[in-house]
Amino acid sequence: MLRNLVAGLALIIATSAFAAAPEMIETPTLANTHKGLPPVAERIPEEPLVLDMEAIGRTTGTHGGDINTMIGRAKDVRLINVWGYARLVGYDNDLELQPDILKAVDVEEGRIFTFHLRKGHKWSDGAPFTSEDLRYYYEEVATNTELSPTPPPFLLAGGELPKFEVIDETTVRYTWAKPNPGFLPALAAARPPFIYRPSHYLKQFNPKYGDQQAIDKLVEEARVRSWAPLHNLRDEMYDATNPDLPSLQPWIATRNATDRRFVMVRNPYFFRVDSKGQQLPYIDRVVMSVVDGSLIATKVQAGEADLQARGLVFGDLPVLKRGAEKRNYHVYLWPEANASAIAIYPNLTVKDPELRKLFRDQRFRKALSLGVDRQLLNKVLFFGLGQPSANIVLPQSPLAGAVGTSVGLEYNPDEANRLLDEMGLIERNNSGIRLMPDGRPLELIVETAGEESIQIDALELIKDTWREIGVDLYPRPSQRDVLRNRAFSGELAMSVWLGYDNGLPSAKMPPEERVPVSTMFLTGPAWGAYAMSGGESGEKPDYAPAEELMSLYDTWMTTTSDTERAAAWDAILNLHAKEVLTIGTVQGVVQPVVVRDTLKNVPENAVYGWDPGAQFGLHHMDAFYYESAK
- pLDDT digit string (tens) for 85-100? 999 999 998 899 999 9
* For residues 623-628, average pLDDT: 94
- State residue 452's pLDDT score: 82
Strand pairing report for 66-71 and 285-290: parallel
pLDDT band at 8 (very low <50, low <70, confident <90, very high): very low
Q: In angstroms, what CA-CA distances link 42 with 46, 119, 121, 283, 507? A: 9, 12, 10, 20, 42
Rounded Cα distance, 602 and 440, in Å? 54
Residue 492 lies in a domain: yes
Residue 7 lies in a domain: no
Q: Is the pLDDT reported for residue 407 higher than 80? A: no
- State residue 20's pLDDT score: 66
pLDDT band at 4 (very low <50, low <70, confident <90, very high): very low
- State residue 17's pLDDT score: 57
- State residue 630's pLDDT score: 63
Q: Is the pLDDT reported for residue 341 higher than 60? A: yes
Residue 362 lies in a domain: yes
- State residue 338's pLDDT score: 96
* For residues 526-552, average pLDDT: 95
What's 38's DSSP letter?
A: P
Rounded Cα distance, 169 and 147, in Å? 25
Residue 567's CATH number? 3.10.105.10
Residue 361 lies in a domain: yes
Q: Is the pLDDT reported for residue 15 higher than 60? A: no
Strand pairing report for 163-168 and 112-116: unpaired
- State residue 404's pLDDT score: 72
Rounded Cα distance, 74 and 146, in Å? 29
* For residues 369-386, average pLDDT: 95
Between 383 and 443, residue with greater pLDDT: 443
Residue 572 lies in a domain: yes
Tell me which residue range forms the domain holding 386.
Answer: 343-587
Residue 172 lies in a domain: no
Q: Which amino acid belongs to residue 422? A: E
pLDDT, tens digit, 9 for 90 and up, residues 70-125 = 999 999 999 999 999 999 999 998 899 999 999 999 999 999 999 999 999 999 99
Q: Rounded to a whole number, what is the largest CA-CA distance in the chain?
A: 80
pLDDT band at 269 (very low <50, low <70, confident <90, very high): very high
Answer yes or no: are the C-beta atoms of 530 and 547 closer than 8 Å: no
Q: Is the pLDDT reported for residue 410 higher than 60? A: yes
Residue 181 lies in a domain: no
Q: Is the pLDDT reported for residue 564 higher than 50? A: yes
Non-local (6+) Cβ contacts of 213 within 8 A are none
Show the 3-state SS of 283-338.
CCEEEEEECCHHHHHHHHHCCCCCEECCCCCHHHHHHHHHHHHHHCEEEEEEEECC
* For residues 33-38, average pLDDT: 95
Show the 3-state SS of 131-180.
HHHHHHHHHHHHCCCCCCCCCCHHHCECCECCEEEEEECCEEEEECCCCC
Residue 513 lies in a domain: yes
- State residue 12's pLDDT score: 36
- State residue 180's pLDDT score: 96
Neighbours of 346 (CB within 10 A): 25
Sign of CA pseudo-dihedral 38, 39, 45, 46: negative
Q: Which amino acid belongs to residue 519? A: T
Q: Is the pLDDT reported for residue 1 higher than 60? A: no
- State residue 10's pLDDT score: 38
- State residue 14's pLDDT score: 37
pLDDT, tens digit, 9 for 90 and up, residues 191-223 = 999 999 999 999 999 999 999 999 999 999 999
Mean pLDDT of the chain: 94
Q: Which of 415, 393, 418, 419 is nearest to 406 (CA)?
A: 393
- State residue 402's pLDDT score: 82
- State residue 450's pLDDT score: 82
The number of folded domains in the chain is 1
pLDDT band at 18 (very low <50, low <70, confident <90, very high): low
